[in-house]
Structure 1
């Protein structure tokens, strides 16, 4: 009889926690796929022209999904490419522009971008909603 009462009490507790949103879920749990803020790390400091607003930067980059449990936070690799863009024109995600501004030609930088400075809750082409990103960027030219 006592065991039956304990089982019923435990079941009732589980149900009440489920109904009120307690006892699980992601409430208050940090997102392990999203850095808390933008992180910039210079792997090589360049010596050429500086990437500043109004200038066109040419970069080579590799992109990974952010993963707190992966080495260097580099989860699944998404892409690798080269392109040019004009700084200060919102041509790229905010985290990418903030991460490249101030670099000098010849420099290589790793940036960790939170979802709020990337694709946010909507995600994009291989980037799940709410996921942060890791870029390795080499600045090859500034005009």
Structure 2
């Protein structure tokens, strides 16, 4: 099956260059009244097995600009060579969606689309310099399967449920291991300090001067934040001093309670359990949603109090 799909695509690409018969400016292609150029290499006479707006289609897809390959589903998914595409209302006349709606399962075709229209409705800094004005994009497609939105949602829900279940197992293990990790770190580093009610260990490395800060004070600190293995995940050295107001939930609990024990000039190291840090939720990158701090992760902060207002 995979070999057959490859042959179809190779034939389609080769035929574009060999064909000399045309009623349009692109040899071998026909044109819709919306400006979409299309060419079928294999077309079913059946019309009942066509997708509609709101369906998902499974297809093999090759997208080219001149001789450059922009996207190849075989490279992205070498095992099956397939991609899944959601069909929505076309945003411009002559869009790819129009071409896919012309296809039935088993059909092979190619479509020529204006790159200007694509960039207008799907702007991207990565591609605006690639396509000169008036450029075209060619899509070679083999339609393999049509899936309803309900079918895809059911599959997603099932996979998501499995994912959540695996996370629960992982988090349960991390939760049980955390006290042992903290105890091991305390012993290894010969820390004599006693934990606070929150479980935070406060180790003063240099005494400060003046009064202790209180709720409502604005405090300026420099800090380095690490995991127990010493890996740095955050530092004020990259972004300047960290300035926050005590009592406004602008810092994690274990860090704020440690600042309340520190005067101007104090340098300290604190070991903070996850329950006084990012807890069961952890901390994720806002854009990628990848975890920077996993749930049930104890943290170490080394800080110096610079100013108290």
Please identify runs of 4+ aligned residues in structure 1 that moved more than 6 A: none
The normalised TM-score by structure 2 is 0.34
Corresponding residue number in structure 2 for 1:66: 228
CA deviation after TM superposition for structure 1 residue 110, in Å: 0.5
1:12-62 deviation line (CA, Å, top 9, x unaligned): xxxxxxxxxxxxx94995424456821001000101342221111000000
Moved more, 45-54 or 110-119: 45-54
1:30-49 alignment, distance < 5 Å: 30-31=177-178, 32-34=180-182, 37-49=199-211
Question: What stretches of structure 1 of length at least 5 have no aligned partner?
Answer: 1-24, 68-74
Give the paired residue count: 112
SS of residue matched to 1:122: coil
Question: What stretches of structure 2 of length at least 5 have no aligned partner?
Answer: 1-171, 184-194, 285-291
Corresponding residue number in structure 2 for 1:77: 232
CA deviation after TM superposition for structure 1 residue 111, in Å: 0.5
More relative contact order, 1 or 2 (CA 8 Å, 6+ apart): 1
Aligned equivalents of 2:243, 2:175: Cα separation in 1: 40
Contact 2:203–2:269 (8 Å) recurs in 1: yes
Larger radius of gyration: 2
1:80-111 deviation line (CA, Å, top 9, x unaligned): 10211111121111111011112100110101
Contact 2:205–2:269 (8 Å) recurs in 1: yes
Q: Determine which of 51, 54, 78 is the counterpart of 2:213.
A: 51
Q: 1:101/1:79 Cα in 2 relative to 1: closer, same or farther (>3 Å)?
A: same
Contact 1:34–1:130 (8 Å) recurs in 2: no
Identify the structure with the greater helix proportion. 2
Q: Determine which of 125, 129, 132 is the counterpart of 2:298.
A: 132
Aligned equivalents of 1:59, 1:46: Cα separation in 2: 13
